[in-house]
């Protein structure tokens, strides 16, 4: 006797890396970044109803593995993500991720998805959504310090969502800059490769720092940053890893996602625990001011928060049926009589 | 141009429910329970080196969704598990689960597995491993109060690991008892269906309580429990859910997995925060006494801990290559140049 076929409830739609890449091209990368930014902004607007917790991190010598759960009361989501700066030398990704959505009322999973590609997209969409609220309104030029895996996504999100037209690129490894130049060629941005960070940030309205070293670094020092810019600092995202000199923080108005997490992981880990910050959801809902003057330096100290992943998974889930870009995984045991798990197991004997 | 094939590193072995059931039958259920008990005991022996944290629970009106991570420094593991007592009425499982192992040095996942079936097995294997340390040495008769999805697994684990030969079954729903009787028929245990809990625990050396109600209940009251028995209380496993009257706890020597979790979730949530307990790993390593007299009541207040899931996933992983009972999931993006995630995405355009 062969095993009885599992019922529909036993199946969880799974979006593989291949299907995620197909989904990006089906939707179009700029449209997808815009869609993700809208989904994230929507969830920031209803920030208060989310169940929020700092990510649960397991640190080791080589890196960190994190679980990032959240729930809006209807849907529960979490992401598994690692950060291993040494991976690159081994030919591996620094960051890989996958995530899951489940219905709160039954606890049954409803989506499992790769999130390495999706995290790159949601990180860029978040940055650009934030920059649309905080950057100078006529921002056209962005500097990107750190031309790794995140750089092209940042570039296209800032183009699609904020109207950036010029990009000034710097990396300590010129091959990284060459790679980013090559990838962005023909995608509608004018590109300048720069040989120093100072050169890159010259005339930039937005400065994005996305370097990967796991250490305290000063990618930007105070004298480099002029009045009125928006700094999008997303590379400092775990304890012991920062990108900006603390004097820049003192001169800036700092905007963050979730204080209990960012105070530990973000640029502001360098500052006293009562260093003033503004929560982004309050800017988005209009309950706190964003940029208030042309000369103000606004700084997004972005570390990535679970709600952004939740929004991104929601976006993917909303496109499953129309695209068919998923496969069903037999992941949930579903006996006809829920008390009869053992009977199901016995009947599966070949 | 079609998308380039992902490299080996992009694949994560996935054990579906179907393959897990095949694995159980390939190994044999009693041998698998013995193997799991050994793996769990081994990990309890090296308890101190694990990174331990209470599970991260998201509670809702209908139930709970939990993440249970741990690491031994080499391998990281976590389980996703829900508990929704109302699911049964909808024809759904009260508990469903899946889990993952990853290598600590790279953060790359190395196993994704269904864990609904596996959790049932590991829970029973843990109970039996603990009973082998604590129950009366000549224990032959076990009562099971609560004949739901966990009951047959408990029965077979106690048979395989502790030499239980007689089973006395009670459930408030006689159909549950009938189901358990039917499932265990012919598997080498003598079975008695009982019409009251009192009748079930008569002459029992081990009393297992595994009911599912999410409330404070008194499945056992003090006058029912005689000297010398071992109580295996595994149904009380979240805040607000207990099975035993507190007077039983006062008369027993209570053994638990991980105090920070069990004090919140276990039977001892009814007791003061300094209620004396013994940690099981200390009994297993010989640094704390187990049973010290024939008249002593030993009580395992089991709530399930992340290390047991870790052990179970390790066991499954060790049997992957020899059985081939897995499929490869394209779950980790793996560009040739790890900095070139965007390039990989662009090359995947059809």
Q: Is A287 exposed, middle or buried (0-12, 13-18, 19+ CB in 10 A)?
A: exposed
* Mean pLDDT along residues B8-20: 90
Q: Where are the domain boundaries for CATH 3.40.50.720 in chain A?
A: 129-305
User: CB distance from B331 to chain A under 8 Å?
Assistant: yes
Of A162, A161, A181, A163, the C-alpha closest to A171 is A181
Q: Is residue A6 pLDDT above 60, yes or no?
A: no
d(Cα A185, Cα B307) in Å, to the nearest integer? 50
A8-117+307-333 CATH, one of 3.30.1780.10, 3.40.640.10, 3.40.50.720, 3.40.50.880: 3.30.1780.10
Contact predicate B342/B23, CB 8 Å: no
C-beta atoms of B82 and A94 within 8 A: no
**Residue ranges matching CATH 3.30.1780.10 in chain A:** 8-117+307-333
* Residue B215 in this model has a pLDDT that exceeds 80: no
- Among A181, A136, A182, smallest CA distance to A158 is for A136
Of the candidates B6, B88, B108, the beta carbon closest to that of A96 is on B108
Question: Which pair of tokens denotes residue A194?
Answer: 């720069």
Per residue in A244-272, pLDDT (tens digit) is: 889 999 999 999 999 998 998 899 999 99
Q: Is A28 left (phi over 0), alpha (psi -120 to 50) or beta?
A: left
Q: How many CA atoms lie within 13 A of B225 on its CB side?
A: 29
Phi-psi domain of A73 (left: phi exceeds 0; alpha: psi -120 through 50; beta: other): left
Determine the pLDDT at residue B185.
97
Q: Residues of B267-285 as b/e, b for ≥16 C-beta within 10 angstroms?
A: bbbebeeeeebbbbbebbe
Give chain A's mean pLDDT: 92
Burial class of residue A49, CB neighbours in 10 A (0-12, 13-18, 19+): exposed
Residue A4, pLDDT > 70, answer no
Distances (CA, A) of A313 to A53, A307, B99: 18, 10, 19
Find the angle CA(A30)-CA(A34)-CA(A40) to the nearest 5 degrees.
140
Q: Does A340 touch chain B (CB under 8 A)?
A: yes
Which residues of B are catalytically annotated? 237
- Where does CATH 3.40.50.720 sit in chain B? 135-304
Q: What is the pLDDT of residues B270-296, one digit of tens each?
A: 999 999 999 999 999 999 999 999 999
pLDDT in tens, A285-322: 999 999 999 999 999 999 999 999 999 999 999 999 99
Inform me whether the C-beta atom of residue B189 falls under 8 Å from chain A C-beta atoms: no
Secondary structure (3-state) at B179: helix
> What is the architecture, at CATH level 2, of domain A129-305?
3-Layer(aba) Sandwich (3.40)
Is a pLDDT exceeding 50 seen at residue B1? no
Q: Which of A93, A114, A338 sits opposite B92 (nearest CB)?
A: A338
Arithmetic mean of pLDDT, A99-104? 97
Taking one residue from A and the other from B, the number of pairs with CB-CB distance under 8 angstroms is: 259
CB contact under 8 A, B84 and A69: no
Give the model confidence (pLDDT) of B122-168 as tens digits: 999 999 999 999 999 999 999 999 999 899 999 999 999 999 999 99
For A55, which DSSP code? -
Residue B63 CA to residue A76 CA, distance in Å, equals 12
Pick the CATH number of B135-304 from 3.40.50.720, 3.40.50.300, 3.40.50.150, 3.40.390.10: 3.40.50.720
CB contact under 8 A, B82 and A105: no
Render pLDDT for A144-177 as a digit per residue (tens, 0 to 9): 999 998 999 999 999 999 999 999 999 999 999 9
Please report which helix (H) or strand (E) contains residue B158, including its range. helix B151-162
Query: Percent of chain A beyond pLDDT 70?
Result: 95
- Provide the pLDDT confidence category of residue B2 given band limits of 50, 70 and 90: very low
* Residue of A216 and B78 predicted with greater confidence: B78
Chain B residues with CB inside 8 Å of A176's CB?
339
Which among B53, B80, B345 is the nearest to A100, CB-wise? B80
Helix residue ranges, H only, B93-150: 116-134
pLDDT for residue B298 = 98
- Residue B336's pLDDT band (cuts 50, 70, 90): confident
For chain B, say whether A148 makes contact (Cβ under 8 Å): yes
Residues A330, B71: Cα–Cα separation, whole Å: 27
Compare all CA atoms of chain B with the CA of A79 and give the residue at the minimum distance: B67
Is the minimum CB–CB distance between A174 and chain B shorter than 8 Å? no
Name the residue facing B342 among A87, A109, A183 (closest C-beta).
A183
Chain B residue numbers touching A62 (CB-CB < 8 A): 104-106
pLDDT over 90 (residue A91): no
Report d(CA B273, CA B281) in Å as an integer.
Answer: 20
Could you tell me the CA-to-CA distances from B176 to A64, A85, B144, B173, B204 in Å, in that order? 45, 53, 12, 6, 20
Report the gap between the CA of B109 and the closest CA in chain A (Å). 9
Chain-chain contact of A114 with B53 (C-beta, under 8 angstroms): no
Per the prediction, chain B carries an average pLDDT of 92
Q: Which fold has domain B8-117+307-344?
A: ornithine cyclodeaminase, domain 1 (3.30.1780)
Location of structure tokens 């276990």: B266
DSSP A73-131: SSEEEEEEEEE-GGGGGGT--S--EEEEEEETTT--EEEEEE-HHHHHHHHHHHHHHHH
* Res A133: pLDDT: 98
The pLDDT value recorded for residue A237 is: 65
Q: Does B14 touch chain A (CB under 8 A)?
A: yes
Mean pLDDT within A114-125: 96
The residue count for chain A:
350
C-beta pairs of B223-228 under 8 Å, 24+ apart in sequence: B224/B197, B224/B198, B225/B201, B225/B251, B225/B297, B227/B294, B227/B295, B227/B296, B227/B297, B228/B136, B228/B294, B228/B295, B228/B296, B228/B297
Nearest to A349 among B25, B98, B151 (CB): B25
Please report which confidence band the pLDDT of residue B5 belongs to, taking 50, 70 and 90 as the band edges: low
**pLDDT at res. A136:** 96
Name the token pair of A350: 């070949």
Which pLDDT band, with edges at 50, 70 and 90, does B333 fall under? confident
Average pLDDT over residues B79-104: 91
Residue numbers of B between 48 and 107 with CB closer than 8 Å to A? 51, 53, 56, 58, 60, 62-65, 67, 69, 71, 73, 76, 78, 80, 82-84, 87-88, 90-94, 96, 98, 100, 102, 104-107
Mutate: best of B20, B24, B96, partner A, most A CBs <10 A: B96
ipTM exceeds 0.85, yes or no? yes
Tens digits of residue pLDDT in A168-225: 999 999 999 999 999 999 999 999 999 999 999 999 999 999 987 656 677 788 888 8
| Cβ pair A116:B332 closer than 8 A | yes
- Determine the Cα–Cα distance for residues A285 and A296; give it in Å rounded to an integer: 21
- CA B269 to chain centroid, in Å, comes to 19
d(CA B187, CA B184): 5
Find the range with the poorest average confidence among A37-41, A86-90, A138-142, B136-140. Answer: A86-90
């Amino acid at each position: 006797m062969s095993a009885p076929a599992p019922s529909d409830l036993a199946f969880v739609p799974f979006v593989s890396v291949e299907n995620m890449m197909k989904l990006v091209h089906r939707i179009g990368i700029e449209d997808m970044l815009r869609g993700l930014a809208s989904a994230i902004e929507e969830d920031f607007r209803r920030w208060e109803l989310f169940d929020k917790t700092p990510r649960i991190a397991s640190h080791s010598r080589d890196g960190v593995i994190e679980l990032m759960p959240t729930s809006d009361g209807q849907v529960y989501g979490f992401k598994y993500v690692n950060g291993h700066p040494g991976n690159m030398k081994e030919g591996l990704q620094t960051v890989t991720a996958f995530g899951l959505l489940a219905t709160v009322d039954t606890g049954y999973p409803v989506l499992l998805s790769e999130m390495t590609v999706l995290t790159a997209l949601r990180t860029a969409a978040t940055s650009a959504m934030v920059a649309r609220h905080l950057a100078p309104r006529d921002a056209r030029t962005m500097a990107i310090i750190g031309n790794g895996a995140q750089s092209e996504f940042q570039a296209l999100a800032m183009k699609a969502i904020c109207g950036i037209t010029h990009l000034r690129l710097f990396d300590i490894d010129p091959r990284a800059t060459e790679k980013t130049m090559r990838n962005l060629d023909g995608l509608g941005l004018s590109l300048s490769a720069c040989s120093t960070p100072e050169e890159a940030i010259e005339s930039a309205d937005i400065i994005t720092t996305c370097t990967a070293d796991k250490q305290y670094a000063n990618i930007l020092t105070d004298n480099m940053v002029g009045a009125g810019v928006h700094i999008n600092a997303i590379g400092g995202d775990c304890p012991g890893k920062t990108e900006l000199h603390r004097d820049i923080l003192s001169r800036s108005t700092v905007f963050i996602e979730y204080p209990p997490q960012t105070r530990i992981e973000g640029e502001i880990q360098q500052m006293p625990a009562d260093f003033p910050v503004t929560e982004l959801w309050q800017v988005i809902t209009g309950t706190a001011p964003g940029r208030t003057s042309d000369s103000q330096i606004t700084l997004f100290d972005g570390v990535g928060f679970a709600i952004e992943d939740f929004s991104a998974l929601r976006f993917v889930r909303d496109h499953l049926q129309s695209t068919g870009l998923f496969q069903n995984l037999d992941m949930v045991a579903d006996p006809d009589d829920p008390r009869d798990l053992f009977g199901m197991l016995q009947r599966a004997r070949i």
